[in-house]
Amino acid sequence: MSKTAIRNTALACAAAVIVSACGNQGDDQNASPFAIAAKTTAQAVAARRAANNEPAAPPKTPEQMAAEALRVNPGPLIMVGFESLGRTQVMALTQENGGMRTYMTPAEEALIMRGGMVTGTRGLGNDLSVAEPGTEALIRASRTGSARRVMHYYSGDGLERPIDFNCTVAAGPNPSVMAESCEGHGISFQNSFMVQGGQIPVSRQWLGPALGYVTIQTLRP
């Protein structure tokens, strides 16, 4: 087995640990493999089959999606499972500035991240403008404690509205996993982060009341 295959298997197992600790991830795997700046072979095959009234190919598994994305795109990649949307998507790095990374799909849906922690979304609807996790230092150091988390959302009038949460950080039920439990304004949620050397290769994070949870795996740092 190659190093890439071993890494992908390990990440898949880590994601399973994260999800089993926090809830059920959506099972719909209908998202297309990601190939930035190019049409995939799968799209061409699907079009030919539709024209010839051939049966559609079975949906690709996350492992197949990851393998194809790693093959066609040499840059950093993440796999994101959108639980409320019921789909899994591979996203490619399109911009990096001062430690902030923007990962995007061909449809220009984007996650903005810092070292594995989501700091914003774009193009998903009900977007998270910016997240200010005061718990970040605790999580990266795998330490327990309490801090505030402020989440800013775009409202219907185009203005940003902050929601303030009180959060506690504690060790999760599985090794290397830190749990961040937050409450405020009648809302509660729990994020889970697998921490390795201060980085977060696998996580389950809450984006907001409308978008809900996403599970994120680093395919290529």
Tell me: pLDDT of 2 over 80. Answer: no
Q: How many domains does the chain have?
A: 1
Tell me: pLDDT of 27 over 50. Answer: no
| Entry pTM | 0.76
Q: CB 89: neighbour CB atoms within 10 A?
A: 24
User: Domain residues for 196?
Assistant: 3-220
For the chain, the helix, strand and coil percentages under 3-state DSSP, each to the nearest 5: 20, 45, 35
| Burial group, residue 168, by CB count within 10 angstroms (0-12, 13-18, 19+) | middle
Could you give the maximum distance between any two Cα atoms of the chain, in Å?
Answer: 61
User: CB neighbours of 71 closer than 8 A, spacing ≥ 6?
Assistant: none
pLDDT at residue number 119: 97
CATH number, domain containing residue 208: 2.40.360.10
The mean pLDDT of 143-156, rounded to a whole number, is 94
Residue of 172 and 33 predicted with greater confidence: 172
| pLDDT one-digit tens code per residue, 76-98 | 999 999 999 899 999 999 999 99
| pLDDT one-digit tens code per residue, 34-43 | 333 233 334 4
Q: How many CA atoms within 13 Å lie on the side-chain side of 35?
A: 14
The C-alpha atoms of residue 74 and residue 71 are separated, in whole angstroms, by 7
The mean pLDDT of 176-203, rounded to a whole number, is 96
pLDDT at residue number 14: 53
pLDDT at residue number 58: 78
